[in-house]
């Protein structure tokens, strides 16, 4: 929000559940939105969030919906958009009849499965996907042949891909199979397109299966493919801490309060000690 209490028009439309921010920008550019009776064509046009003169196709904005947060175990073969010109399946088909319109937080490619967050909290989603936040995303990858310790070390320190060197990652070998494959756990803090697959391809270990186990501090533990659940209040609180700059490993933890002053001695113990000193002094005397 700006200092004068205004926000970008596209952001206000998204917050009211009209569309995603990108779709809202398209509606504005195509002349579907009026403010105070005038067509506005710029998505950044400043408006008050509660301005009753904002209308989309001559309809007043609905009331702001309550903020909701979900995690979906995305199966392979589903795209992370609402519609597709090629008629591929959308993750939205797996979350029907929700009372609020939600949007995915980030992306997972069609051949990758696992943890996908969905929410109507645009501010939180923006922060969690911003490169500067560095939210950790943990994956389990099935790769061809077993990577050596040297290869794992190279991946951890960064690889020179065509769009720049990768940030440091955490990589560990989980197990090797009888079919010349291996399961490797890798945690990255970037959101580049097909990053994990490109990293393993670069070092000669192409990926045949990829599952995102967790996003930040939210995991798919206990979920079946294609199922989703609402996040708990604690999970949402931790995500907000991470979005605010708290390392994921520290999110949700409260520092222990330091005790001030000295501990008080037990009165009976102190009485016995003084009696003992007095007895020893009498013996010396």
Instruction: Tell me the CA distances in angstroms from 140 to 49, 65, 111, 165, 213, one per residue in order.
Output: 42, 35, 13, 22, 7
| Residues with Cβ within 8 Å of residue 225, at least 6 apart in sequence | 73, 75, 113
Determine which of 1-10, 61-70, 235-244, 273-282 has the lowest per-residue pLDDT on average: 273-282
Provide the 3-class DSSP secondary structure of residue 154. Answer: helix
**Predicted pLDDT at 146:** 95
Instruction: Tell me the CA distances in angstroms from 108 to 76, 86, 193, 197, 214, one per residue in order.
Output: 10, 18, 9, 12, 12
CA 185/CA 130 separation, integer angstroms: 23
- Token readout for 221 is 């533990």
Grade residue 257 by pLDDT with cuts at 50, 70 and 90.
low
- How does the average pLDDT of the chain come out, rounded? 90
**Predicted pLDDT at 65:** 84
Q: Which CATH number fits domain 7-60: 3.50.50.60, 1.10.4080.10, 3.10.290.10, 2.160.10.10?
A: 3.10.290.10
- Token readout for 49 is 């969030």
Report which of residues 39 and 268 the model is more confident about.
Answer: 39
Q: Where are the strands (E) in 125-235, listed by range? A: 137-144, 160-161, 164-165, 170-176, 181-188, 207-215, 218-219, 228-230
CA 184/CA 143 separation, integer angstroms: 7
The CB density around residue 184, as the number of other CB atoms within 10 Å, is 25
pLDDT value at 119 more than 80: yes
**Predicted pLDDT at 5:** 81
**Predicted pLDDT at 166:** 97
CA 223/CA 12 separation, integer angstroms: 33
**Catalytic sites, residue numbers:** 109
- Token readout for 17 is 């559940």
pLDDT value at 276 more than 80: no
pLDDT value at 129 more than 90: yes
- Each domain of the chain, given as residue ranges in start order, spans 7-60, 69-250
**Predicted pLDDT at 2:** 76
CATH class of 69-250: alpha beta
**Predicted pLDDT at 85:** 78
**Predicted pLDDT at 265:** 61
Phi, psi of 56, rounded to the nearest 5 degrees:
-115, 120
Instruction: Please report, in angstroms and rounded to a whole number, the separation of the first and last CA atoms in the chain.
Output: 82
Q: Which residues pair with 54 in a beta bridge?
A: 35
**Predicted pLDDT at 217:** 96
CA 68/CA 70 separation, integer angstroms: 7
The CB density around residue 263, as the number of other CB atoms within 10 Å, is 6
Question: What tens digit of pLDDT does each residue of 230-246 get?
Answer: 999 999 999 999 999 99
Same-fold call for 7-60 versus 69-250: no
Q: Which of 52-61, 226-235, 267-276 tops mean pLDDT?
A: 226-235
**Predicted pLDDT at 279:** 74
**Predicted pLDDT at 142:** 97
Average pLDDT over residues 206-210: 97
pLDDT value at 280 more than 90: no
pLDDT value at 202 more than 60: yes
Report which of residues 97 and 112 the model is more confident about.
Answer: 112
Average pLDDT over residues 12-30: 87
Q: Please report the sign of the dihedral spanned by the C-alpha atoms of residue 96, residue 216, residue 132, residue 192.
A: negative
Of 36, 39, 47, the C-alpha closest to 7 is 47
Q: Are 132 and 198 in contact (CB under 8 A)?
A: no
**Predicted pLDDT at 101:** 87
Grade residue 158 by pLDDT with cuts at 50, 70 and 90.
very high
**Predicted pLDDT at 227:** 97
pLDDT value at 284 more than 90: no
What is the number of residues in the chain?
285
CA 107/CA 250 separation, integer angstroms: 25
The fraction of the chain above a pLDDT of 90, given in percent, is 66
pLDDT value at 183 more than 80: yes
| Coarse DSSP helix, strand, coil percentages of the chain, rounded to the nearest 5 percent | 25, 25, 50
């Amino acid at each position: 929000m700006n200092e004068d209490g205004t926000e970008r028009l596209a952001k206000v439309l998204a917050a009211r559940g009209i569309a995603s921010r990108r779709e809202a920008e398209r509606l504005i550019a195509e002349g579907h939105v009026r403010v105070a009776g005038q067509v506005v064509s710029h998505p950044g046009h400043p408006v008050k969030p509660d301005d009753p003169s904002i209308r989309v196709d001559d309809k007043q904005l609905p009331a702001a919906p309550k903020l909701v947060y979900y995690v979906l175990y995305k199966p392979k073969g589903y795209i992370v958009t609402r519609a597709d010109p090629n008629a591929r399946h959308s993750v939205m088909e797996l979350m029907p009849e929700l009372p609020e319109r939600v949007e995915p937080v980030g992306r997972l490619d069609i051949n990758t499965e696992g943890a996908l967050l969905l929410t109507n909290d645009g501010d939180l989603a923006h922060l969690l996907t911003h490169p500067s936040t560095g939210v950790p995303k943990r994956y389990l990858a099935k790769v061809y042949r077993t990577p050596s310790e040297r290869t794992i070390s190279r991946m951890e320190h960064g690889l020179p891909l065509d769009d720049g060197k990768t940030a440091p990652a955490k990589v560990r070998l989980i197990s090797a199979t009888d079919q010349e494959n291996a399961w490797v756990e890798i945690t990255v803090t970037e959101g580049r397109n097909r990053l994990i697959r490109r990293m393993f391809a670069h070092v000669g270990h192409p990926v045949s299966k990829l599952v995102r186990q967790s996003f930040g501090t939210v995991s798919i533990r206990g979920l079946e493919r294609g199922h989703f659940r609402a996040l708990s209040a604690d999970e949402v609180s931790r995500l907000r801490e991470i979005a605010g700059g708290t390392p994921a490993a520290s999110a949700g933890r409260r520092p222990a309060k330091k005790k001030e002053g000295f501990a008080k001695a037990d009165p009976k113990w102190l009485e016995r000690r003084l009696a003992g000193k007095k007895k020893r002094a009498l013996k010396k005397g």
